[in-house]
């Protein structure tokens, strides 16, 4: 073979090798590109499906919310805890959740001739004592009220509106804003108390400014109580801000509820 022929053969071989290697790369590259296209299409399809599902989920959530049921993940998780029933200290009583008929708690007298559910007496006494030790003058105005007593308070209030010139229906409506219908008051459970300041016993907005109201807001959870009807929560509780009404739920729940910023209704997923 002549040197020129050898060179030609050498370059041909190199060319062939390069060609096959390059072809291989090109083939691989084409294979990769098609896999990439398939994957991208799959992702796009999945994204579209996800979007559609999210829209569906949103619509379903909206439906649920419109029907008055809370449906967020936090609430669902919280409610899992109550699957086997609501513990006695978390019983919800309000205008749409009336008390179990004929329910009367076992009572213990605390002060001013008033009684509460025997299970909360110790902590209520401890809370009042701690406030007094801090130089505060709380006055226990109301505690357990029987159905009969609640009915009497309700009827007396209707009567007093009528004496002021209201017709029965107006008097009844006005009373509903101030007094719970018998069977729909937490006072019937023996788990609620109205505490005011000795220097100001009015059950109105002014009460919130008293030293007692402020001390209680700061310390109630340490004794298992919550401010049951906070300001700006009327839509959740159906009751105006009552700076004096405290509800026993136990230390654990009092702290959880306080940290959550929710009302008892919201905490239990029962908002209307």
Chain centre distance of CA 205: 24
d(CA 230, CA 233): 6
Could you list the active site residues? 242
The whole-angstrom separation of Cα 210 and Cα 214 is 6
Binding mask 79-98 for Zn ion (x = CB under 5 A): --------------------
CA angle 177/183/188 to nearest 5° reads 100
Q: Count interface residues toward Zn ion (CB under 5 A).
A: 2
Tokens of 42: 């799959």
- Position 228 contacts Zn ion (CB under 5 A): no
Q: What are phi and psi of 158, to 5 degrees?
A: -60, -45
* Residues 158-217, interacting with Zn ion (CB under 5 A): 194
Give the residue from 144, 150, 149 showing the smallest Cα distance to 110: 144
- Closest to Zn ion by CB, 194 vs 270, is 194
Q: How far is the CB of 46 from Zn ion (least distance, A)?
A: 55
Among 245, 247, 248, 265, binds Zn ion (CB under 5 A): 245
Q: Rounded to whole angstroms, how far apart are CA atoms 77 and 13? A: 72
Nearer to Zn ion, 143 or 158 (CB): 143
Please report the DSSP string for 103-168 in residue order: ----EEE-STT-EEEGGGHHHHHHHHHHHHHTT--EEEEE----HHHHHHHHHHHHHHHHHTT--H
| Closer residue to Zn ion (CB): 136 or 193 | 193
Find the shortest distance in angstroms from Cβ 93 to Zn ion.
11
Residue 197 CB, shortest distance to Zn ion, in Å, is 15
Q: Give the binding range for Zn ion (CB under 5 A) out of 41-49, 101-109, 241-249, 255-263.
A: 241-249
**Which CB, 78 or 245, lies closer to Zn ion?**
245
State the minimum distance, in angstroms, from the CB of residue 181 to Zn ion.
14
Cα atoms in the Cβ-side hemisphere of radius 13 Å centred on 100: 7
Nearer to Zn ion, 70 or 116 (CB): 116
* Contact (CB, 8 A) for 124 and 116: yes
By beta carbon distance, the residue nearest Zn ion is 245
Copy the structure tokens of residue 15.
């060319």
Compute the distance between CA of residue 172 and CA of residue 185 in angstroms, rounded to an integer: 16
| Residue tagged 């159906």 (tokens) | 238
- Minimum CB separation of residue 59 from Zn ion in Å reads 41
Q: Which is nearer to Zn ion, 194 or 266 (CB)?
A: 194
Q: Residue 185: which of 162, 165, 163, 157 has the closest Cα?
A: 157
Stretch that binds Zn ion, among 38-46, 106-114, 199-207, 245-253 (CB under 5 A): 245-253
Least separation, in Å, of the C-beta of 192 and Zn ion?
Answer: 5
User: Which positions touch Zn ion (CB under 5 A)?
Assistant: 194, 245
């Amino acid at each position: 073979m002549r040197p020129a022929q050898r060179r030609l053969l050498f370059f041909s071989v190199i060319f062939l090798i390069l060609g096959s290697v390059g072809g291989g790369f090109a083939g691989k590259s084409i294979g990769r590109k098609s896999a990439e296209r398939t994957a991208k299409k799959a992702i796009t399809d999945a994204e579209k499906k996800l979007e559609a599902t999210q829209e569906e989920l949103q619509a379903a959530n909206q439906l649920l919310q419109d029907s008055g049921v809370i449906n967020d993940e936090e609430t669902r998780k919280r409610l899992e805890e109550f699957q086997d029933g609501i513990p006695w200290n978390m019983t919800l009583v309000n205008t749409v959740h009336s008390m179990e008929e004929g329910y009367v708690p076992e009572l213990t007298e605390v002060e001013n001739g008033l009684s509460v559910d025997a299970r909360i007496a110790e902590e209520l006494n401890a809370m009042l004592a701690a406030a007094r030790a801090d130089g505060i003058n709380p006055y226990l105005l109301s505690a357990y009220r029987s159905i009969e007593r609640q009915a009497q308070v309700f009827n007396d209030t209707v009567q007093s509106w009528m004496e002021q010139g209201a017709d029965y229906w107006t008097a009844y409506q006005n009373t509903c804003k101030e007094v719970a219908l018998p069977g729909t008051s937490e006072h019937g459970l023996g788990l609620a108390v109205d505490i005011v300041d000795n220097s100001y016993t009015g059950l109105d907005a002014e009460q919130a400014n008293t030293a007692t109201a402020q001390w209680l807001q700061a310390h109630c959870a340490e004794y298992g109580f919550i401010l049951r009807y906070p300001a700006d929560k009327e839509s959740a509780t159906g009751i105006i801000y009552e700076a004096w009404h405290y509800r026993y739920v136990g230390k654990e729940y009092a702290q959880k509820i306080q940290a959550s910023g929710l009302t008892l209704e919201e905490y239990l997923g029962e908002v209307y």
